[in-house]
Structures are given as C-alpha cells and as structure tokens.
A = this chain, B = another copy of it.
C-alpha cells in the first residue's frame, strides 16, 4: 500500500524482524530492546504506542497490555542501515522491565562480575496478574 511505503525501506532479517530500542524521550535512559515485525511496527505508528513482536510467545505484544506500563510514542527513528528502530517513548508508570525496574539494563560489569545498578521499583507480583 502506497501510504505504508516507509515500511518498505526497512531491512527485515531472515525472520522478518528488526531490533527496536526504546529510549525515554526526556531522560535519554535506554529502557529496553525488543523485536518488531512489519505488522507490529505499523501498529506502533498507527496507535502511537510501542507494539512489539514477542519471539517467545509468537504473537503481537502491546507493551503494557498486562502491566499498564504502556510506552507512548514520541518519535520513531531508523538507523543508517535501515535495520534497527529507535523509539523515543514516554514510559507510563515509570517501569519498563518485567522485573519491576525502571529499565532492563540493570547490570553493570565491575571487576569481572555483574553488579545491579537499579533497584526494583515495584514487586512484579503486584504488577502482573498471574491467575
């Protein structure tokens, strides 16, 4: 479709996916990285919120669908090789990670070991309904 020509410029991998990095639009904090297929990227643009493709569940994943931690889209960017997406987002609830932390990159390497650099904001048991 002509109106979705911007999608044709993207170089999907052999599984039809591209990595998508979510970055806080205000602080610049990198929140997470997940994957998108053509449909999820189109929905991201149409719904102005991050919609990923879950490789483990093999289905669309509207970020925040369970937790309420929606990522509201502020800008959608593409890299030089057209094979990585960058989303500038507003992270609703201030929690991007399923561990209950603000972001997923909560381990830093110090003297040959991974050390936690970010505290749990909310217990995941309180975020997800595991009925």
Contacts and interface: CB of A to CB of B under 8 A. Distances in A.
Interface of A: 3-6, 9, 19, 21, 23, 27-30, 32-33, 45, 75-81, 84, 86, 97-99, 101, 104-109, 112-114, 117
Contacts of A33: 19, 21, 79, 84
22 contacts: A3-B112, A6-B112, A6-B113, A19-B19, A21-B33, A23-B28, A27-B28, A32-B79, A33-B84, A76-B109, A77-B106, A77-B107, A77-B108, A78-B108, A78-B109, A79-B104, A79-B107, A80-B97, A80-B99, A81-B104, A84-B104, A86-B105
Given A23-B30, A30-B86, A109 B79 contact: no
